[in-house]
Amino acid sequence: MTEQFEFTTTEDAANAVDTSVFDAKTRAEAQQIIARYPESRSALLPMLHLVQSVQGHVSAAGIQFCADQLALSTAEVSAVATFYTMYKRKPCGQHLVSVCTNTMCAALGGDAIYRKLGEHLGVGHDETAGTPGEEGSITLEHAECLAACDLAPVMQVNYEYFDNQTPEGALDVVKALQRGEKPAPTRGPALSDFRGAERQLAGFFDDLESTVAGPSAAVETVRGAQLANERGWTAPSMPDDVELPPVPEKK
């Protein structure tokens, strides 16, 4: 028995996707992003963040929107959107809570933090407690590395750092988020929500002064530089006449 399948052309598929959720303002901002780059396709990463700032995830409409704006195929856009974990393929909560479970954080309590939050929220990795996008909804994920081993264990809320966490302290933060509060991160600006953070990652800062007002470095992070300054330690300078290794011949 021969099975029959219904095929559609690329043009038919494009026409079937409704991108009207992206209004004139969003389309104008997409063009602003494109104008930053000599090659338009280089704008894809921030444009996907722009899509998430509107919908809270990268939908089929978002993929089609990016493809249309950048003259790419939807396959090319999908390949990028599915490669990076920062692009969510299903609706994200009002807040994204990322718990580092890489080696250093795990050894110092990251696994216990992730387990505690998962039990409280009743969700697992990349799952959402509450209705996505509504106030108090939270998407939980474990992250492989948040680049803050000197402050382990750490977690992020909408990519802002909460350092030196404990299971109880992390749970307090999550409960505050569920109540509609926005606890202050250890470093960085005042807490936004997921879509607001995505707008910033797209390169749009509606209140730049407040965004850069928070502390940017922890005491532990800059302690080495402070000690070097106090004790007069310096690294040897690079000689002016260093011989560079030969460049291999192209074959």
* Three-state SS annotation for the chain: CCCCCCCCCHHHHHHHCCCCCCCHHHHHHHHHHHCCCCCHHHHHHHHHHHHHHHHCCCCHHHHHHHHHHHCCCHHHHHHHHCCCCCCCCCCCCCEEEEEECCHHHHHCCHHHHHHHHHHHHCCCCCEEECCCCCCCCEEEEEECCCCCHHHCCCEEECCEEECCCCHHHHHHHHHHHHCCCCCCCCCCCCCCCHHHHHHHHCCCCCCHHHHCCCCCCCHHHHHHHHHHHHHCCCCCCCCCCCCCCCCCCCC
Q: Which of 46, 81, 116 is the last residue of a domain?
A: 81
Question: ∠ CA(171), CA(175), CA(177), 5° rounding?
Answer: 120
With respect to residue 145, please indicate whether it lies within any of the assigned structural domains. Answer: yes
Q: Is the pLDDT of residue 6 over 50?
A: no
Q: Is residue 237 part of a domain?
A: no
pLDDT of residue 232 exceeding 80: yes
Look at residue 33 and tell me if it is in a domain: yes
Q: Is the pLDDT of residue 11 over 80?
A: no
Structure pTM?
0.83
Same domain for 99 and 57, yes or no, is no
168 within some domain: yes
Note whether 77 and 137 are same-domain residues.
no
Do residues 133 and 163 share a domain? yes
Higher pLDDT: 4 or 174? It is 174
- At residue 94, does pLDDT exceed 90? yes
Quick: pLDDT tens for 112-139.
Answer: 999 999 999 999 999 999 999 899 999 9
Q: What is the pLDDT of residues 181-229, one digit of tens each?
A: 999 999 888 899 999 999 999 999 988 777 777 777 888 888 899 999 9
Question: Other CB atoms closer than 10 Å to residue 115's CB: what's the count?
Answer: 14
Please give the residue range of the domain that contains residue 60. 10-81
Position 4 scores a pLDDT of 41
Q: In this structure, is residue 87 part of a structural domain?
A: no
Closest CA to 188 of 226, 149, 221, 166: 221
Shared domain check, 65 and 154: no
Q: What is the CATH number of the domain that holds 176?
A: 3.40.30.10
* 55/17 same-domain check: yes
**Do 70 and 101 belong together in one domain?**
no
User: pLDDT per residue over 140-156, tens digit each?
Assistant: 999 989 999 989 999 99
In a domain, 19, yes or no: yes
Note whether 120 and 160 are same-domain residues: yes
Integer CA distances (angstroms), 196 to 44, 96, 200, 218, in order: 19, 11, 7, 24
**Does residue 240 sit within a domain?**
no
Lowest mean pLDDT segment, chosen from 3-7, 26-30, 172-176, 246-250: 3-7
- Mean pLDDT for the chain overall: 90
Q: Within this chain, do residues 17 and 75 fall inside the same structural domain, yes or no?
A: yes
Closest CA to 157 of 179, 144, 138: 138
Query: 105 with 14, same domain?
Result: no
20 lies in a domain? yes
Q: Starting at the edge strand that comes first in sequence, how are the strands of the sheet with 160-162 ordered? A: 127-129, 138-143, 95-100, 155-157, 160-162
Q: How many domains does the chain have?
A: 2
At 238, is the pLDDT very low, low, confident or very high (cuts 50, 70, 90)? Answer: confident
pLDDT of residue 239: 84
Q: Which among 150, 165, 197 is the end of a domain?
A: 197
